[in-house]
Structures are given as C-alpha cells and as structure tokens.
Structure 1
C-alpha cells in the first residue's frame, strides 16, 4: 500500500512493474537518433486517415494495442486506462480508445500527461485497486499547431525559442510487481506560474514547475542528485533545461551532471530543424516508452526520475492575454526493488 512521505510524495511499497510499453511515432521522429527504439514509425503524417486529428487517435490506439501484444494480454485484462492528449476535450484519447471497452479516466496535464497517467496507474496497482492499469498519451504536430498557434498554410516564422510538437504516442502497462522497470514512488506537481506569456517559449513557462517538483521530491525522499543515474524532464528543450539547472542551483541543488530532457533526445538538434527541441505530450511519452524503459529494463539505468512537464494554457487563455501556468509530475523508476 502507498505511503505518504510528504505533502505530494507517495512511496509505492509493492513496487509495481511496468510490464509492457510501446511507442508509435511519425516520419520526422523516425529520422531522429532514437529511431531503432520505436515500435512503429509511420512515413505519412495522416497515417492514412482523413484528418490529422483522426491520425492522432489512431496513433494512440496503435500504441495501446502494441503494448498489449507485447504483454501477451487482451484489453479485457486492463482494469483502468488513464489517457489524455493536447486537443480540446481530449478527443484523440476519446476517439482513439472508444472501441477498446476499457474503463477510462481522461486526463489533461498537457505535456506532463504521461507522468500523471503513469503515476495514477501505478498508485491504483500498488493499492490493490487494479491488477493491470495502463497510461497512454499522444500529440501530433499538425493538429497541435492548428489548435494552439496558426494554420500550417500560413507559413509563419517560428522564433528560436519555439519547440517542435512531436507526432508520437506512448503507452505503458503497469502490473503487480514482477520485474523491472519498477515504480518506486510518485510526486504530484504543483501549478507554478512566474508570469511567462510567450506561447513560443514553453520551456521557460514549464521550467519553474520542474524545479519545484524535483526539489520537493529530493527533500521528501532525503536523496540528492548524485543518487540518480538520470533525472530526465520532458519537454523543456534546450532553453527550459538551462533555466531548470539555473533555478535549482539557486536553491543549492546541482542536477547538471545527471540531467537530460526528452525534447533534446527525440531529435538530432543539429541536423533536424526543431529549433529549441521537441515538445508535445507524445514527446516524453514516446521517449519513455521506448528508449528509457528499455534502458532500465536492461539494467543500464538503475535509478531514474522521470519528470514530465506541461504548460496549462488554452487558446482562449492565450488570446485573453493570460500567463502560462506550468506543472510537472514525477515518477521514480528503478531496476531493483529497494534501489
């Protein structure tokens, strides 16, 4: 049963396992450095569908089905699924998963949704509320740009601070403790807002939330950055990552030697034109559900803090001149129980 050790931190004493995981990506993501880790790479942004939104729904469904196949499980064995995306009313999740007939919790944490979903799935398993639970999320460059910024046909200039919304989906199935990767703990984020209004600078808007969550978890768990092989955020990109390191150094915490970011790993930052890096709910989800969980499963990474970050604005709040609140949820993943 979960044990609360701080206001927002839970130790999962049964060490639930991530039994299976899968990542589905688009053409641009398949041309990046993590290509060999993905389960499916599509070479068409529409995935053969009529619209980008339908393509994203299909991508999310494909990720869930692939994870189920790898676990040798049927959808009827999943007690609950926690899903979300970036589109209004989370339509990618609703339309993508409606035919799977799995009890459904819809989430909106923007780009932090994968960590939020994985946290809840793990908590449900740890407390005996589910034998199997799943977390899934997605994003699509074209559908996100159409909703949050400008029509693609407009051809507007993207400033250097902007990030590329990943066309990707990731799904992770959590089960009773059986083998690595294990989920040791979770830390819920707190909404943080330092007044950033620039919709083309998501890294700056989300970095304070990541700093708050990491500081909180290190304090609650009585650990230090050097206790971890990797503290990985998603998706601060290049600018947000630098800001995160600076913010924590001001608090006497130096994560620079163990930090990386999913938005920096997904693409080749020199060869691919993604400006400040990757973003989107599918960015951290696809990196987690391919490269990261595989490395933990193999024992190459023993102790990892996965900290997915989200910008909690909408098109309405942006048009009304509101600031951009940030959130960051943390999941502590390990190779060994008790690590």
Structure 2
C-alpha cells in the first residue's frame, strides 16, 4: 500500500519499502547535512558542545548516524538543527526523499502531510488521511491559535517593512533629497507618489495593529514591537486600550542598538528563491498604470495574493478561506 503526493492511500499499487521513523530521518539527515558542510563527526560534535550540548559527542553522533542509537531528545534535535543551520522539521520528516514516515508506531503518512501536522496546518492524521477520532476540536483550536496568529504577525511585519522601505525611498527620491515636511511645492507626480506610499504604509500599519488586537483579545502573548511602529499605531489610534497596555516596546539600550534595530526591521527578503538555478533573471513585468497599482506594488504584493486565491479556488477550497487575505482586502478598502 502506497500514498500519492496528497497523502492518500492508493491501494492498487504494490507495497514499497518500510516507512522510515523520525529517528531514522534524523540519522540520515544529520549525516547528509554534516557532509554538505564538509565537517567530520568530530567537528560537528565540537560545534554542538559550543552550542551547549556537550553530550552530543563524536561517539553519540556516530551511533546516531549508524542506527545504533534508539532516539533523540527534542532539545538534541533542536541543537543539531541549529548547528547544521536547517529547519528542525527536516530532521524529523523525510520530505523529498521518502514516501512514508511513521509518526507513531501504528500511524504512517506521507511526509508532506506529516510536515503540515507538525506546523499546525493539519489536525492529527490517520494512515488513511482522516482526522484521528480522538482529536478534540476545541483543544486543537486552542493549541493552533498562537501558530496562526504568529504566522499572520510575521506576514504583517513583512508587509509593513516593504511599505516602510517604499515610503522612505519615495519620500527621499532614492536618497536624493531630505524627506519633505509637506507636499506643498512638490510637482503633481511626486505628491501623488508620496500620497500612495503613505496609504500603503498606513494600511500595512493597520494590518499589524489588527493582528496585535486579536492576539491580546484571544489571550495570546504578543512579542515586543519596535518602538517607532508601536508609537505610530498609538498616534493613529489603531490599538485597543488593552493592547496598548500589554504590548511592550522594543528599543535599543543606546543609539548603536537603535541603529541595529532599524537595520534589522528594514525591508530585506528573508526566504531564498529555491527555484532560481540560473544567473539569468527575466525582465520585470511592466506595472499597469491604474490607480490600484499605485496603491500596491504589483510584482511584490498583488501578484502572489491573486495567484494564491486562484490556486485555492481551482483546488476547490471553500470561499471562506479567502478570509486569510483579509489584511490585503482591508488595505484595498482604505486605499479608495
């Protein structure tokens, strides 16, 4: 019995190799990533010791890679992933190189489904891709709520970072001038571009405030927010009073720390383009000249959103799932 790419049992195909266990995945992947770094087992052990895990010595790592160690503690998995510089899930799930993984001694699923369960995108699955009968929906919802909200927080912060970057670039004319105190005296095109950038920034700031308000209302502890952003949300009265009281400000201890924070929160793409295997890059698509695309950067923001919606609809996802793009829709509404 095998599974297709969606994790569904096909039944008509012959049985394949036995499913791997998470410990076997860790053994194979630790060896793989260690060799990719060009490290010996002794070098990996040295780096684990520097990271505070001296018990992961050369003999332990050798026993793990050769299948002589029965398992790993969770803190050991996290330390190995950190030292190797890879996502921890890749030391638990054979994503991309095996067809089945045992998530319990009696439950075997496709690695893609296992990964979605580990990241909170799926409820505990069974081998036939159903939700396990013991799953309590209320308990699951409570458990996954912080995962969902922190995911939305990350998206809102990234959107705001792009908006801040674009706003500063337009206000300074690519660093050629001091940001104007007002739009008086600017030509019509410059004034229009600055207004559009301000709208994008305010919309992104409102999206971040919405997520923070939801976190506080739902009892999810929010992180500290960079002070300039927090103060801007307060000035615009975007935060509920309880949110103002519970969200701490993040600031440096001195001017140098503040500068580092400003660099950290400045927009920079974080995810590598794993599909880019050539130095040749296509020419960017020309931006349509409509008002809509003055409000949103077409290539960076609108196109991925529309592609995700189109893919979801083609896959038969219920329309209610479009609530995931509510921050973008809210931005549209405020922009017009």
TM-score interval for Structure 1 and Structure 2 normalised by the shorter chain: under 0.3
Q: Which has the higher helix share?
A: 2
Relative to the length of structure 1, the TM-score reads 0.25
Larger radius of gyration: 2
Structure number with the bigger relative contact order (C-alpha 8 A, sep ≥ 6) is 1
Question: Normalised by the size of structure 2, how large is the TM-score?
Answer: 0.25
